[in-house]
Amino acid sequence: MIGLGYKQIQIFKRTYFHPFISLKHGYTQLSKDRQSYSNNVLEHLNIEIELIGEVPSKDKILYAINHRSLLDIIVMEHIFSKHNKNGTWIAKQELFDAFYGDFFRYSGCISVDLENRKGLLKFFKEIKKTLLKIDDFNIYIFPEGERNKTADVLEFQSGAQKIAKANKLDVVPVFINDTLESVFRNAPYKEKKVVQVHMGDIIEHQSLEEDYLNFVKNAKGEK
């Protein structure tokens, strides 16, 4: 798996450092590269994704996703690959500084430094510029802001709501109904392992957290 990841970084770099590529084409290609890698990983692990709900046909959507494992990104990229979606992941700066930081840096993710005011301003300018220049762009974010080791949904940080409000983006809630940290530890599977992903209808950014929690309750069959 590690070897496959390092090999993929070299593929990302071809696009990231291409001297003549446009912003739109660059993000489109990096999205396809992430999706190809993710599909290969899931095939290797023998994991199948069951999507409950529909991916919107329109773009310029902010997808709000729960977060329990690095495998979450791979699962979502697989889904986006089936619906020809182009976009970027929002990630904390600390992930870019970790040992796997090059994977995030060169795959087209956008970093945000929550402790740096200048960094935040630069981040929001970059998001706005990208959305203006790419008509089929989408934002993927984990509103909890960190990997959640509990069975509940953690309190949302403010980033997802602020991004949606500043750029007038529709929000789609996504709930990965599995503890993918343990799924990953137990892979590869001899028999196909099915992971359910629930995708909801568009919700308002003003009530993002409340609507998301209601969506998760419905997905779990809770009253």
pLDDT tens-place string over residues 60-116: 999 999 998 888 999 999 999 999 999 999 988 888 888 788 999 999 999 988 778
CATH number at residue 87: 3.40.1130.10
Residue type, 70: L
Total number of domains in the chain: 1
pLDDT of residue 98: 81
Q: What local confidence, expressed as pLDDT, does residue 2 receive?
A: 60
Answer whether 0.75 is exceeded by the pTM.
Answer: yes
Distance between terminal CA atoms of the chain?
40
* Tokens representing residue 157 in the block: 């940080």
> What does the alpha-carbon distance between residue 104 and residue 95 come to, in Å, rounded to a whole number?
7
Reading the block at residue 138, the tokens are 């989408």
Q: Which domain holds residue 162?
A: 2-220
How far apart (Å, rounded) are the C-alpha atoms in residues 10 and 122?
Answer: 27
Predicted pLDDT of residue 96: 87
pLDDT above 90 (res 173): yes
